[in-house]
Structures are given as C-alpha cells and as structure tokens.
Amino acid sequence: MCTYECISTILLVGTDHCTFNSTQKAFGIDDFRKIPNGVNGIEERMHLVWDTMVASGKISVTDYVRITSTECARIFNIYPKKGAILPGSDADIIILNPNSSFQISSNSHHSRSDTNVYEGWIGKGKVEITIAGGRIVWENNELKVKRGSGKYIKMPPFSYVFDGIEKADASYISSLRAPVNRFKGMQ
C-alpha cells in the first residue's frame, strides 16, 4: 500500500481524455485488441483528485494546486503564463467547495458518450465556479462560453523536463560495453 511519503512525490495529475461510446467500444467484443483505447477524464479529474487525495488527507490543498495546475504548466513550458496567480499571468481559477458532494454519471457529463468509466462515483469536493480569461465560464453546473471564444496558447518546446537529457544519454551510451556512434545528421 502506498503511504503519504509515496503520494507526496506525485509530480502531476493529468488526463489524455479520449472517450468512445458503447457502440465504438463494442468493436472489440470478439477481440479485445480491437477495443478503441481511451476513457473520459478531463471533466472528472479535478473532482476525483480532490476526493481521493485531499479529502482523504493524502495531500494538502497546496499539493492539489501543484499537481493539477502548476506542474502541468511547467511541463508544457507555459509557466508562469499559466499555472500561477501572479501579475501578468493568465491562470484559469476554480472555486471548489470542499463540503459539496458530486456524483458522476454519463447522464449528466458533457462528453458525447453514453458511458463513463467513473459511473456512479460519489465524492466530496465539487468545482462550483471556473474563471478563465477573467470571465466566469462554469457556474451552477452550466458551461457559459461561446463557441470560438477559446485561445490557442503556443507552447515553446523543451521545458525543464528535458534539461540534462543529452548528459544522461551520453552517460548511458558510455556505460555500454560496445561502441555506439550517433550521427546528428547528414553532412
């Protein structure tokens, strides 16, 4: 079983939200290799992390912000433009009521799917308001945006995650017993 020490080393929590409906998932009914890979998660992520990690006492509220926002922005190399509440930043802000409860259901989620991998999950901690670009975009369980109102955020390549990769790669290559030659390109 993972202890608090193990959990406190979590760098970030994200989702590769890729959902399919039950008809699409049924393609693999006779061969599991044909089941489309992916599940929902983007809408449920903040609630589930609060419920399973903060409400249970496994991480602090500060760690919640770090693993759901700050570190994600750092990995994508857009911190502190995103992932921070600082002058000049453009953080999306949630107002989460820790005493409010939620229940996940495919009948009420916003994905175009008739299934939800978290169907029936009941938990504590509900996002009640989301503010993006200085506007309330989520309130009273209602999305309040206009189509096309989003902004593309250019992400520069090579965040801090890549620092030291060449050094680690060189160290690994030099540890091999056989000579390895790498070519940087045609000359």
Does the pLDDT value for residue 21 go beyond 50?
yes
The phi-psi region of residue 117 (left if phi > 0; otherwise alpha if psi is between -120 and 50; otherwise beta) is alpha
Please state whether beta strands 122-132 and 93-103 pair in parallel, antiparallel, or not at all (unpaired): antiparallel
Residue 101 belongs to a domain: yes
Range of the domain at 45: 22-145
pLDDT for the residue numbered 158 = 76
Q: Which of 113, 7, 108, 131 is nearest to 57 (CA)?
A: 7
In whole angstroms, what separates CA 28 from the centre of its chain? Answer: 27
Total domains in the chain come to 1
Continuous H helices in 56-164: 61-65, 71-75
Residue 12 belongs to a domain: no
CA–CA gap between residue 175 and residue 41 (Å, rounded): 41
CA–CA gap between residue 118 and residue 40 (Å, rounded): 9
Residue 157 belongs to a domain: no
* Residue 139, H or E segment: strand 135-139
Q: Up-side HSE of residue 78: CA atoms within 13 Å toward CB?
A: 15
Residue 180 belongs to a domain: no
pLDDT tens per residue, range 79-116: 999 999 999 898 899 999 999 999 999 998 888 889 99
Residue 99 belongs to a domain: yes
Mean pLDDT of 17-45: 89
Q: What is the pTM of this model?
A: 0.75
Highest mean predicted confidence (pLDDT) among 8-22, 38-52, 94-108: 94-108
pLDDT tens per residue, range 54-82: 999 999 999 999 999 999 898 888 999 99
Q: What is the largest CA-CA distance in the chain?
A: 64
Residue 33 belongs to a domain: yes
Residue 134 belongs to a domain: yes
Residue 6 belongs to a domain: no
Check which CATH number belongs to the domain holding 101 and give it: 2.30.40
